[in-house]
């Protein structure tokens, strides 16, 4: 018989005024394997009390569906500061199911629907945009910023720095102050992973 896992009291999430929405690209959404990203989100809740919603997708349609559901169905959407994407890809594209989609294409899919959000990529993919590409993404989607890392995974995951970044955001709304503080507190990690923000 399955033991019931202890449920967190619902009020904790209702009271939380800050959420992370994480979308991870996987080979097959039918698998039940707990991923590194899921474990990190659990740690984020335990360590910093930051609630999150985690979903997986394996196609561009799945990505679109998940974000659309978030925007249209979730009344807490305004509370999500950060959309956290754990997706592989190239400098200015993401890869889903062996297909590459440029961030320009992604911007057009989510036109006007990411108002005020920060889209943060883990270092599962390098984020390296031309100024025009970044500006186009921000203008079309309405996002406040796009952040991520210039250096490849190479066995070092960005998860600890991601968690620190999310926690600093919980404390301070100002994106530039947060990035400055992140660099002050975690200088080595920021340099090693080449943390970057386009806004």
Q: What are phi and psi of 137, to 5 degrees?
A: -60, -45
Q: Which CATH number applies to 15-198? A: 3.40.50.1460
Please report which confidence band the pLDDT of residue 17 belongs to, taking 50, 70 and 90 as the band edges.
low
Mean pLDDT of 184-197: 96
Question: Which residues are bridge partners to 52 per DSSP?
Answer: 20
Stronger pLDDT, 80 or 103, i.e. the higher one: 103
- Domain layout of the chain by residue ranges: 15-198
Given a cut of 90, is residue 120 above it in pLDDT?
yes
Given a cut of 50, is residue 6 above it in pLDDT?
no
Mean pLDDT of 79-104: 92
Q: Cα separation of 125 and 94, whole Å?
A: 8
Q: How far apart are the first and last CA of the chain?
A: 51
Stronger pLDDT, 136 or 73, i.e. the higher one: 136
Given a cut of 80, is residue 1 above it in pLDDT?
no
Query: Under 8 Å CB-to-CB from 134, ≥6 apart: which residues?
Result: 146, 198
Given a cut of 90, is residue 106 above it in pLDDT?
yes
Percent with pLDDT over 70 in the chain:
88
Please report which confidence band the pLDDT of residue 2 belongs to, taking 50, 70 and 90 as the band edges.
very low
pLDDT score recorded for residue 74: 58
pLDDT score recorded for residue 75: 58
Q: Of 13-17, 98-102, 138-142, which gets the smallest average pLDDT?
A: 13-17
Which range of 21-35, 126-140, 160-174 scores highest in mean pLDDT? It is 126-140
Mean pLDDT of 76-105: 89
**Nearest Cα residue to 195 out of 135, 141, 120, 134:** 120
The vertex-121 CA angle with 24 and 71, nearest 5°, equals 65
Q: Cα separation of 127 and 104, whole Å?
A: 13
User: In this predicted model, what pLDDT tens digit does every residue of 161-179 receive, in sequence order?
Assistant: 999 999 998 888 889 999 9
Mean pLDDT of 139-163: 92
């Amino acid at each position: 018989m399955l033991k019931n896992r202890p449920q967190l009291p619902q009020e904790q999430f209702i009271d939380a005024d800050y959420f992370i929405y994480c979308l991870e690209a996987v080979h097959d959404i039918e698998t039940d394997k707990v991923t590194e990203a899921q474990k990190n989100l659990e740690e984020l809740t335990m360590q910093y009390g930051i609630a999150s919603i985690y979903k997986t997708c394996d196609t561009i349609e799945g990505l679109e569906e998940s974000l659309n559901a978030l925007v249209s169905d979730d009344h807490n959407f305004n509370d999500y500061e950060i959309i956290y994407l754990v997706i592989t890809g190239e400098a200015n594209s993401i890869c889903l199911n062996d297909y590459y989609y440029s961030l320009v294409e992604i911007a057009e899919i989510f036109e006007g629907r990411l108002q005020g959000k920060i889209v943060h990529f883990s270092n599962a993919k390098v984020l390296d945009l031309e100024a025009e590409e970044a500006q186009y993404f921000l203008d079309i989607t309405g996002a406040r910023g796009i952040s991520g890392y210039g250096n490849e995974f190479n066995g070092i995951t960005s998860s600890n720095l991601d968690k620190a970044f999310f926690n600093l955001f919980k404390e301070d709304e100002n994106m530039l102050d947060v990035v400055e503080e992140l660099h002050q507190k975690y200088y080595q990690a920021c340099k090693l992973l080449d943390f970057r923000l386009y806004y």
